[in-house]
Amino acid sequence: MASSSPPPPSQSYSSATPSYQFITHLPIAPSSPSEKVEEEEPRVPIHVVTKASQLPVDFLEPSPHSKIVIGFDCEAVDLCRDGALCIIQLAFPDAIYLVDAIEGGSVLIEACKPALESDYVTKVIHDCKRDSEALYFQFGIKLNNVVDTQIAYSLLEEQEGQRRLPDDYISLVGLLADPRYCGLSNVDKEEVRVLLRQDPNFWTYRPLSEQMIHSAADDVRFLLYIYHQMMAKLTERSLWLLAVRGALYCRCFCVNNNNYADWPSLPPIPGHQNLDDNIMYKLYFLVFIV
């Protein structure tokens, strides 16, 4: 149930309305890795989704014949296994969809499960660990086939000879400010962070305010642009490491009693495609930890 408290003061959007009231700029895929975000990008609608029928068919019905790449993120009250998922953000090239877990409930999130677990839908996200934990323990969704831009950034730094400490990870705001990828230093989330500190239930309020809608959209609207920038620069080895680390990130906080037997198989080590996952985990430990 949505909170009965009023949302932060600003224009509101009724999620029962099938049309959209808000639009945002969505950077298009660059024609070259050095191309930067322009000030005036295509304007696309932001849809608040309360029913599965409002989502694209290619997302609801993943297919090897229509593979897609989307930006992805989650908003919640305490994003973890014991929290409450509130919104799933999906960025497509022509629109942004805010999947309202409060209004749509478990039925709506279950409709998203095939895509979130599918190999045919690539989910571009910045730091997927807690998102995956929330999806797994709250809805039984095993997040799969992610491209984590936090991991990709570290790999690109390594390619360029930069060494970062194991716990030195770039934030999304920091990534957006990097001129090699977006160069947008004005994407500031501090106002929303302050509101979240003051009221942890911020994302539960309905109807969604204009501030909530644009803040949620901002977390995904640059991800496809960054994805194309990064993929053009990553070496074959880095692409493999990106896939492996992404799969391990998804499992990071989803510890269970069956050694992840119900999860998709880990990306194989080149030349060792027939090893079972128990041996693979040990080899990955040697590769990434030792």
For residues 56 and 78, give the distance between their C-alpha atoms in angstroms, rounded to a whole number: 28
pTM of the model: 0.86
Overall CATH class of domain 12-255: alpha beta
Q: How does pLDDT run across 220-262, given as a tens digit for each residue?
A: 999 999 999 999 999 999 999 999 999 999 999 998 888 888 8
Q: How far apart are CA 162 and CA 157, in angstroms?
A: 5
Q: Is the Cβ–Cβ distance between 67 and 210 less than 8 Å?
A: no
Q: What are the CA-CA distances from residue 48 to residues 30, 57, 104, 244, 280 (Å)? A: 27, 16, 10, 33, 41
Model confidence pLDDT, tens digit, residues 64-107: 999 999 999 999 999 999 999 999 999 999 999 999 999 999 99
- Report the C-alpha gap between 66 and 25 in whole angstroms: 25
| Ranges under pLDDT 70 in the chain | 1-20, 28-41, 165-166, 186-188, 271-290
CA–CA distances in Å: residue 146 to residues 55, 81, 179, 260: 20, 19, 24, 17
Enumerate the domain spans of the chain. Answer: 12-255, 262-290
